[in-house]
Amino acid sequence: MANLTMRFGALLIILGVATWFVTVPHAPTSVIPAIFGVLLMLFGALARTPDSKKRMLWMHIAVTVGLLGFIFPFVRALKPFIDMLRGMAVAHPRAVIEQMLMALICLIFTVLCVRSFIAARRARIQ
């Protein structure tokens, strides 16, 4: 899971940096996904340890970051995203798209982590 965490971190960094270059003038909030990506990369790297307790700790921290990376942008962008789907104009459509992409990436990461945690727990019980 540590390698997967680092891959999702890299994906978020790419999203943040790409959005930074697309927005003119450069909006500082466009790099928020990159900040979450750096955190996931850090926690993924720290989870690459033979100590199972430390690995479990860092992965739980990483999935918490992933969950927060889903909740905050999703809640913030849901109404404008629905308005965009209805054909209405919104103030910053690129920001809404970026937030929804970040939410989707983080949701997929969180679901994969939870599935892995459940499988690991079942393996320990049997």
Q: What is the pLDDT of residues 97-126, one digit of tens each?
A: 999 999 999 999 999 999 999 998 888 887
pLDDT tens per residue, range 4-46: 999 999 999 999 999 998 887 778 888 999 999 999 999 999 9
Measure the CA–CA gap between 76 and 57, rounded to whole angstroms.
Answer: 29
Rounded-to-integer distance, Cα 96 and Cα 40, Å: 22
Distance CA 36, CA 20 (A): 15
What distances in angstroms separate CA 90 from CA 78, 79, 84, one per listed residue?
12, 10, 7
Q: How many residues can be counted in the chain?
A: 126
* pTM for this prediction: 0.91
Confidence of residue 91 (pLDDT cuts 50, 70, 90): confident
DSSP 44-88: HHHT-SS-HHHHHHHHHHHHHHHHHHHHHHHHHHHHHHHHHHTT-
Domain definitions of the chain by residue range: 2-125
- Residue-wise pLDDT tens digits, 43-86: 999 999 999 899 999 999 999 999 999 999 999 999 999 999 99
